[in-house]
Amino acid sequence: MLKPIALLLQEATQNAQLVTARQASVELKSNHGLLIDVREPEEHKADPAAGAINIPRGILEPKILQLETDPERPIYLHCASSLRAALAAEQLTRIGYKNVKVITCKMEEIRSACLS
């Protein structure tokens, strides 16, 4: 049986650490974590959040291992709907990263929080 997107998102977020854009912004200022946009490059260029590194979900695993070798460094993931970010968080946790969070807000809120 194929799973609907809503169920896929529910399952992916069950074990994820979920945060709002405001909470992520506050934490990033103090913990110097990474803010990663897992959308496609065209999406990121058209609607970027300040300070976000664009690593599309499809190439996240090999790129993150080159970018960050500290499994304890906080990583904040975002996309347009939280689905790709939640799925990416599952993968990063499997790799061994310990402090992965999914920003669950809409892009407008993420952009606004990152600018403040």
- 35-81 per-position pLDDT tens digit: 999 999 999 999 999 899 999 999 999 999 999 999 999 999 999 88
Pick left, alpha or beta for residue 100 (phi over 0 → left; psi -120 to 50 → alpha; otherwise beta).
beta
pTM of the model: 0.90
* CATH number for the domain running over 16-115: 3.40.250.10
Report the share of the chain in percent with pLDDT over 90: 68
Amino acid 13: pLDDT: 78
SS3 29: helix
- Domain coordinates in residue numbering, the chain: 16-115
Pairing type for strands 100-103 and 17-19 reads: parallel
Distance between CA atoms of residues 98 and 49, nearest Å:
24
